Structure formats: structure tokens, C-alpha cells
Amino acid sequence: MKEELLYLWIGMIEGISSGVLNRMIDYFGNVENLWKADEERLRAVVKEKYAAAIIKSRNPDKIEKYSYKLKERNISYIYPGHVYYPESLSHIPDPPRILYIRGNMSLLEERKNRKVAVVGARKASAYGMETAYQFSHAMAEKGITIVSGLASGIDSTAHKAALDAEGRTIGVLGCGINICYPRENKNLYDKICDEGLMISEYGLDVSPDAYRFPLRNRIISGLSKAVLVVEAREKSGSLITADQALEQGRDIYVIPGRISDVNSSGCNNLLKQGATCVTAPEDIIYDVISKDDFMDSGYAIFHDNRSSTKKNLAPDEKMVYSCVRLEQKHIDDICAELDMKVSDVVKLLFSLETKKLIRQVVRNYYVRC
């Protein structure tokens, strides 16, 4: 059988974790030997159920068919040793034996690893989403690839920001490569497949089970040079990513939060344990891209195009703008603070919104952009 089909076979074996598989391949020398190994020898060295699983999966027809199916859907796959298999992944403990891929494979080329994982809470605050967006946007603009997990909240905001900046982004799924989970991110999923890259350790139609997500997280951090945690609760999946990142020797950056915010307690704990505190995108960008490269990329240090818009505001617009903060604020509070009528404030808020200075996060709550 062809070499790549052998690797696909490895990916198709059910019931054996990638850790055990890795050890088996090491024992037999390479994948081909494992394929050819006779039953008796197999049963002698591994547990009965593993041996049975391997024997059962040795079905060339099925593998061919599967490979054809993948091709039909424009899904390719890479494995350790493949030209595109990321160097950074092969050095983590328990590297994935196979990665299914949709989209622009060149994103995996890594002359210099410039990927940053952005992770955080699903139920994020407006402030958290805003920060995730700003940081991801700025990083993507500077040519950094944003890696995340396509979950709702911080993850999808990070992807969106990267796409908005026309930058590069990689989504890592915890379910089959052809499954969009959560479903409401369908648009984002399609867009990442078109303009970015979608990766999964799991093949067609694998359901999004809870235990797969922590496993997925090791790929997110493994791909990246650094991990940025935006908002995380005390017991958060993002902390698992951070733990694995530490194990893999990645840098961890954390955005601090108020001590009273539930959503920031995990972040603040990470900071206590010695993670790097960041307050502006530059803090990460300088570390990930060396300074010379940064200057080469032709960007002046952060330009804020909002300041000119701010200067040209009408007096009453200015008044309303000064009332809106980075934390969400209810329109009734704004009215009360300014002592103005609702119908007037609504109009001013609207024009500030069209100037992209403020944003309505949930109904009637406003924040600065």
C-alpha cells in the first residue's frame, strides 16, 4: 500500500489513543511494519483489544474508499514526516498521528513560527470580546497567524478579527473536520475554510464529544509559539490549554482583569503563577516577531484612525461619547448622567455607532470600540 494510505489507516484505527499508537509505531520501527506485523506477534506485545482493533482495521478497500471520500470533499491530510506537518507539533508529547485539513495549506509553512493562539471563555463579557478582537486584529495585521478553537465567545471573535484584518487564521476543531460545532458559527466555519485553514485530528462525521476538546487544545497550543488567554473562569477549558502550553514550553500571555470579575479569575490566577501580563498587542507582537522583522513589515507603530474622528465630533456627540466606557453601560444610565431625553440620546448613540466609536453589545448596553 502507498505510504500516505498507511498513515490514513493509522488515523482510522478506532479505540486506540494516539499515545498508545505512538508507542506501538516506535516499537515496530515504522508504520509499514505495523501494517505488516503478523497477528501472533501483535497479540504478544499489545493488549488483546488493541491487537483486535488493529487487525480489524486492516482493510485496504475501506481505506481506499475513505481516501476517495476525503478527496471528493476537498479534505487533505498530513502526518508526521509530511512536508507540511508542522515542526512545532512533532516536538510536543503525544503529537497527533494524523491531521485532516481544509483550506489554505500554506498557512502551515513555518520558516519562522509566527502563530499565536488566542483562547478564552465562551460566555465572554463585552470587554473580553472587545479585547480579544483588538489584540487579534492587531496581531493579524502584523502577519501573525491567529490560532483558535472556533468555540463561541472569545475563540470566534479572535477568528473574526483575523479575517477582518485580512490576516491569517487557523481553526482547530474538536470534532470531525466536516462538522461545524457550534452550529451557529457556520458562516465563520465556511469563511475560515475559504480564506484560512481548518484542522482536525478527527476524520469525517466524528461527533463533538466533551472529551475531545481538551485533546484538541494540545494541538492549539502545540501549533503556536505563544498562547494568549483573554478571559477564563476558575475552571476553564482555556486553563487546560494554558497547562498544555506550559508542558510544551510555549509562552503564556494573559490579559489581566478586575479581581471581582468571575470571567477573569482564571486569568488572574495564571498571572499569580507567573504568566506574562499584557496590556497592549505590542507586548506580544515584539516577542513573537523580532524587532527587525517588525520594522521590515513596513508598518508604523500602531496608528489609531479613530482619533481624527473623535476630534470632529459635534459637542453633544462628544458629551455622549465621554459617557460611554469600555465596560458595558445601559442607555438609561447614560440618559440619567447627561440629563437628556431618551429620544435624543438614541439618535446620538446611533451616529456614534455609525462612526464606529461605540458599539451596542447586547440590547441597550453600549461600550467604546
Minimum separation from the CB atom of position 128 to another protein (A): 9
Nearest residue (CB) to another protein, 195 versus 261: 261
Nearest residue (CB) to another protein, 204 versus 340: 340
Nearest residue (CB) to another protein, 46 versus 161: 161
Minimum separation from the CB atom of position 353 to another protein (A): 9
Nearest residue (CB) to another protein, 35 versus 321: 321
Minimum separation from the CB atom of position 220 to another protein (A): 20
**Tell me, what DSSP letter sits at residue 114?**
-
Cα–Cα distance measured from residue 117 to residue 146, given in angstroms and rounded to the nearest whole number? 6
User: CA distances (Å), 246 to each of 153, 212, 227, 231, in order?
Assistant: 23, 20, 10, 18
Nearest residue (CB) to another protein, 2 versus 330: 330
Minimum separation from the CB atom of position 313 to another protein (A): 16
User: CA distances (Å), 44 to each of 31, 145, 274, 351, 369, in order?
Assistant: 18, 46, 47, 75, 64
Minimum separation from the CB atom of position 340 to another protein (A): 10
Nearest residue (CB) to another protein, 126 versus 357: 126
Minimum separation from the CB atom of position 213 to another protein (A): 14
Nearest residue (CB) to another protein, 272 versus 363: 363
Centroid of chain to Cα 91: 19
Cα–Cα distance measured from residue 341 to residue 334, given in angstroms and rounded to the nearest whole number? 10
Q: Which residues bind another protein (CB under 8 A)?
A: 122-126, 152-153, 182, 184, 260-263, 328, 330-332, 335-336, 341-343, 346-347, 349-351, 354, 361-365
Minimum separation from the CB atom of position 345 to another protein (A): 8
For residues 132, 135, 137, 143, the Cα torsion angle rounded to the nearest 10 degrees is -130
**Tell me, what DSSP letter sits at residue 246?**
H
Cα–Cα distance measured from residue 245 to residue 253, given in angstroms and rounded to the nearest whole number? 11
Contact 257, 263 (CB under 8 A): yes
> Computed from CA positions of residues 306, 307, 308, 313, in that sequence, does the dihedral angle turn out positive or negative?
positive
